[in-house]
Chain A
Amino acid sequence: MTDERDPKVSRRYRELGAEEPPTGLDAGILAASRRAVKTRLAPLVPPTGRRRWYFPVAAAAIITLAVAVTVHVERQKRQRSAGRAAKS
């Protein structure tokens, strides 16, 4: 690299100071960098190996949970209406 520096100019320039960004700003930028890689889009290539099972298992778990909640809510409704009928 051709160095066009002048020693006196460089020295005086350094004397201006070695300011740094505030730590709060560092933290914000680093947090944004971490968020960015966490929220990456799903790959277009289908997952292989063990990761192949993640989506079916997760889907099955969600469906099971949804069915369980629906059954529970229905059962509670029936119990409430049976209770009201008994009172009247």
Chain B
Amino acid sequence: MEAPDEQLMLAYRDGNAAAFETLYLRHRGRLFRFVLRSVKSRATAEELFQEIWMRVIEARERYAPQARFTTWLYTIAHHRMVDHWRRRGLSLVELDEQDPPGDSPDPARQLEAREALARFAQALEALPVAQREAFLLHEEAGLSIAEIAAATGSNAEAAKSRLRYAVAKLKAAVQDD
């Protein structure tokens, strides 16, 4: 059975570097995509991603498992993202170099799929920051409404409302296809 995140973080706090590696490998992909879909460029996403983990490392001595590790991690990420948005505004990563999914060899259908995906990405990009963040925290990081509220310093009602608005707008973008 795998060790829970909280146990690994406590082990790292107490000097076990291998525990951090396990924890990092478990969360790197989701956290990276959360950051990447919140900023304009991959280079910026990499910089922010690194800074978030550095903050986790720096904060290890103060770590106490009062909530899920994931909530704590995304609370740190939220604060770093807020700093970033305050300074630069926001945008989504470009999709220019991505191939659309699907196994259809038909170029017309491929183009259609690519356009549908681009429309979805634009709809995600067009969401207000708080709604997009709530969506990414739920969809990518797997946080519950209560955990989104905790990570973003809001209340459950606000978190739920943001998430519902985001999903409704994205659903409309999907149904337009």
Contact = CB atoms under 8 A, between A and B. Distances in A.
Given A6-B170, A13-B120, A18-B33, A29 B50 contact: yes
A50 interface: no
Interface residues of B, number: 43
A29 B171 contact: no
A19 B32 contact: yes
B33 A19 contact: yes
B12 interface: yes
A26 B95 contact: no
A contacts with B: majority SS: helix
A30 B23 CA distance: 11
Contacts of B36: 19
B138 A33 contact: no
Given A33-B21, A34-B17, A5 B46 contact: no
Residue of A21, A34, A38 contacting most chain B CB atoms (<10 Å): A21
B79 to A, nearest CB: 18
A36 B60 contact: yes
A11 to B, nearest CB: 8
B145 interface: yes
Contacts of A8: 171, 174-175
Interface stretch (B80-88, B103-111, B159-167): B159-167
A4 B164 contact: yes
A52 interface: no
Contact of A16 (B21, B29, B121, B144): B121
B24 A29 contact: yes
B167 A37 contact: no
B16 A21 contact: no
Contact of A17 (B98, B116, B160): B98
Contacts of A4: 138, 145, 160, 163-164, 167
Interface of A: 1-2, 4-6, 8-10, 12-13, 15-22, 25-26, 28-30, 32-34, 36-38, 40
Given A1-B144, A19-B33, A26-B28, 11 more contacts: A6-B174, A13-B139, A13-B140, A15-B100, A16-B124, A25-B49, A29-B24, A30-B20, A34-B17, A37-B16, A38-B17
7 contacts: A4-B160, A12-B120, A20-B32, A29-B53, A29-B54, A33-B57, A36-B60
